[in-house]
Amino acid sequence: MAGLTLTISSKDGKSYLKKLEDGSTLLGRKLGESINGDLIGLSGYELKISGGSDSSGFPMRPGLETSGKKKIYAKSGVGIKTRFKGNYIRKTVAGNTIGQRTVQVNFSVLKEGKKSLVDLFGKKEEAKETPQ
């Protein structure tokens, strides 16, 4: 399995990116499941899997019990935008299980650890231009 990109959303509305070289610790986990932050290097944190996408960019959809892609017929929900209200469309989405083809996973923080996410990931410095 290739690396995973993790997007961790904090309670204050900011999100942080983390690259995992070996994502095998998350294989088989499902959307909505809560995990211990120690699995991904965030000690003291409790995280909830809230979304993700596969290598082709298809979004993970809750309620679809598979780790691969599937064509569904739906009128609303994750990955569905209809032109008119009530219309059904056929759309390809990824299942709700993290598998070999998953490349990006979204997390939301349920319980914070001793160190804040800003301290762990660092604050991005904005480029300052000097007036001339």
54 falls within a domain: yes
- Note down the domain range covering 58: 4-121
DSSP 121: H
Residue 126 lies in a domain: no
pLDDT tier for residue 103 given thresholds of 50, 70 and 90: very high
**What are the tens digits of pLDDT across the range 17-71?**
999 888 788 999 999 999 999 988 888 999 999 999 999 999 999 989 988 899 9
The number of distinct structural domains making up the chain is: 1
In a domain, 84, yes or no: yes
Domain assignment of residue 128, yes or no? no
Cα gap 112→129, rounded to integer Å: 36
Give the model's pLDDT for residue 78.
86
pLDDT tops 80 at residue 126: no
Residue 75: closest CA among 60, 63, 91: 91
Residue 9 lies in a domain: yes
Report if residue 80 sits inside a domain: yes
Distance CA 93, CA 70 (A): 6
Compute the mean pLDDT over every residue in the chain, rounded to the nearest whole number: 88
pTM: 0.83
* Position 131 in a domain: no
CB atoms within 10 A of CB 105: 25
Evaluate whether residue 130 is within a structural domain: no
Question: What span, in angstroms and rounded, lies between the C-alpha atoms of 62 and 59?
Answer: 10
Name 22's Cβ contacts closer than 8 Å, sequence gap at least 6. Answer: 1, 3
pLDDT of residue 107: 95
| Cα–chain center distance at 6 | 6
